[in-house]
Amino acid sequence: MNIPNINLIHAYRIAPWRIQRQWIGNALLLVVILAMVAALYLNVTSRTAIAGREIQDLMNAIAISQQASSDLQTQLASLTSSVAFETRARELGFRPIQPEDLEYLIVPGYVAPQPLNLSSNTAPQLSALTIPPEYNQSLLDWLDERISSRRIQ
């Protein structure tokens, strides 16, 4: 019954490099795992950084667009201001209407213009303070949070 054990010990004695190879194999496995974790971390970090950059760019683009929109709106208002309109109308040969020029017609179903309504059909802008931690938390932050929460428990 003891013969197989004797044989195994004998085999290691005549080939001690097998134990070394086993150690090397384990070490290499650890290195590979660490390399994979590092690569994953690098990947996540780089993607987060790119997303951060894109957010900054988009915010700048939004700000520039809003400024351009305000500029154009103000320019349009200047071009259609009361004084500008009256000047252009006079240049084109128009004159202010007089009461005697008016002729009123009864139009069935006519609805007088209503004052301005600037209500928007689109939903109000949702708060952007809802970026989940997955998008701005590093792996180390996540580990730190986990360890801290364990400690608290």
Interaction between residue 77 and other proteins (CB under 8 A): yes
Smallest gap from Cβ 19 to other proteins, in A, equals: 13
Interaction between residue 60 and other proteins (CB under 8 A): no
The span of 6-14, 30-38, 71-79, 142-150 binding other proteins (CB under 8 A) equals 71-79
Among 24, 59, 89, 147, binds other proteins (CB under 8 A): 59
Interaction between residue 125 and other proteins (CB under 8 A): yes
Q: What is the token pair recorded at 124? A: 């109000």
Interaction between residue 13 and other proteins (CB under 8 A): no
Q: Residue 80 contacts by C-beta under 8 Å, 6 or more apart in sequence? A: none
Q: Are 116 and 28 in contact (CB under 8 A)?
A: no
The span of 1-9, 32-40, 129-137, 145-153 binding other proteins (CB under 8 A) equals 129-137
Q: Are 137 and 52 in contact (CB under 8 A)?
A: no
Buried b (16+ CB within 10 A) or exposed e, 109-134: eeeeeeeeeeeeeeeeeeeeeeeeee
Interaction between residue 66 and other proteins (CB under 8 A): yes
Interaction between residue 124 and other proteins (CB under 8 A): yes
